[in-house]
Amino acid sequence: MEDVIIIGAGPCGLSAAIECQRQGLSVRVIEKYNVVHSIYLYPTHMQFFSTSELLEIGDIPFVTPADKPFRHEALAYYRRVASHYNLRINCYEEAVSIDRQQDGTFIVRTRTRSGEDLEYAAEHVILSSGYFDHPNILGIPGEETDKVTHYFREAHPYTGMKVAIIGGSNSAVDAAMELIRVGAEVTIVYRGEGISSHIKPWVRPIFEAMIEKGRIQMRTSSRVTSILPDRVIIESLQDGTTTELANDFVLALTGFRPDRKLLASAGVEMSEDMDKPVFNPETMESNIRGLYIAGVVASGRNANEVFIETGRGHGKLIASHITSIRNTED
């Protein structure tokens, strides 16, 4: 029997594990892939919006040459933190269900990469799963073909290619900036009327200059309605007219959504507000006693509501609540 099982070894899950361990609780972390898998899925050369200080967990300094660290620096940092605290992390093991028992404890059932089914008992469970496994699907013809991806890693494979980027977030802008450096012909197709106000301020002027110079084409108030082997069909949201654009690859950078299967299996209620799980913001406890929410899964469909710098504090709230309950029961 564990005191706490944490599902998800992202920064917020690791932070929760550290805070619980500091309170003398036995902790096991279950991770479907590798440690901080969501960060691993970021573009290879991505630079964070946040400063390194805002990404720190467990009181371990995150020292970088620049104010805003890069992906590879974050991966090294979180590996070091996990090792420093000797966290017990079961990587490449997927949690498939959470069942609360009559005595108030939980059974967490998992499946390993080899197909072995395991189960663990725990007094408390913290669900801190990410959202990068589940891209927002457009539901348009051709989206399932191999010329389309919802993940951008690096620009090299697209050298000299005609690439359409669907979306207008920082990920779309970063991808476009990298792609033009390798000679790709880039067109951004975005539903918004103009460039998003959330673009990184140090990137925005350079991006706008590339548009003005014609290095990047941008179709605002538009959407892709069909993806064909050698072209895409683009519809104007202003007048409904359509145009065809020659195309080799499509990057559908339309965001991601949290997985709801585990929440549903445990009986966690969802609010009508952006499909958020119901929880107490002071303790992060859900409507199921002893089951807590941490990290981006608390944000519902609005995955941009919770970042590492805010979600990393969830673990301290949870650990304090568990400790206070134990002290009361003693």
DSSP codes of every residue in 129-147: --STTSB-----TTTTSTT
Per-residue pLDDT of the chain (330 residues; tens, 9 = 90+): 999 999 999 999 999 999 999 999 999 999 999 999 989 988 888 888 888 998 999 999 999 988 889 999 999 999 999 999 999 999 999 999 999 999 989 999 999 999 999 999 999 999 998 767 678 889 999 999 999 999 999 999 999 999 999 999 888 999 999 999 999 999 999 999 888 888 888 888 999 999 999 999 999 999 999 999 999 999 999 999 999 999 999 999 988 776 677 887 788 888 765 567 888 999 999 999 999 999 888 776 555 555 677 788 899 999 999 998 877 765
Q: Is 251 exposed, middle or buried (0-12, 13-18, 19+ CB in 10 A)?
A: buried
Give the DSSP H/E element, type plus range, for residue 320: helix 314-329
**Contacts of the segment 235-243: beta carbons below 8 A, 24+ positions apart:** 237/191
Pair 136, 120: CB distance under 8 Å: no
- In the prediction, which pLDDT does 122 show? 96
Range list of H helices, 164-295:
170-181, 204-212, 261-266
Q: What three-state secondary structure class fits 278?
A: coil
- The amino acid at 47: Q
Residues 98, 267: Cα–Cα separation, whole Å: 9
| Residues β-bridged to residue 164 | 187, 250
- In the prediction, which pLDDT does 15 show? 95
Radius of gyration of the chain (CA): 22
Nearest to 10 by CA among 127, 150, 98: 127
Nearest to 12 by CA among 217, 309, 271: 309
- In the prediction, which pLDDT does 301 show? 59
Half-sphere exposure of 287 (CA within 13 A, CB side): 11
- In the prediction, which pLDDT does 37 show? 92
Residue ranges of domains in the chain, CATH in brackets: 2-133+256-329 (3.50.50.60), 148-252 (3.50.50.60)
Q: What three-state secondary structure class fits 89?
A: strand
Q: What three-state secondary structure class fits 233?
A: strand
